[in-house]
Amino acid sequence: MRDFLYSEIANFYGIPKVPDPDLAIEAGRRLCAELLQPMQQTFGRIAIRSACRSAEVTDYGNKRHHGESVERNAGYHIPGF
């Protein structure tokens, strides 16, 4: 889970990045069981650099030309982010 929540922008600038805990745990369990564990068994170790970015971190990074726009990030339809 640490890999998914890590953000270089949030870490560097000290921006808190905490999703809804229940939603994150359930989504993480399903993602691991249904996708990541089977992929790792097939292809070997998988390293995830970042998978969850809050709108606040995205906006902050955009103002400093560090990444994707809020409009292009597909994760903002999920409540709690």
* All structural domains of the chain with their residue ranges: 2-77
Would the pTM of this model clear 0.75, i.e. be above it? no
Residue 72 DSSP code: T
Condensed to tens digits (0 to 9), the pLDDT of residues 2-58 reads 777 777 888 888 888 777 888 888 888 998 899 999 999 999 998 876 666 677 777
DSSP string, 37-52: HHHHHHH---------
Q: How far apart are CA 64 and CA 16, in angstroms?
A: 17
Show the DSSP H helices in the chain as ranges.
2-5, 8-13, 21-31, 37-43, 55-63
Q: How far apart are CA 17 and CA 10, in angstroms?
A: 7
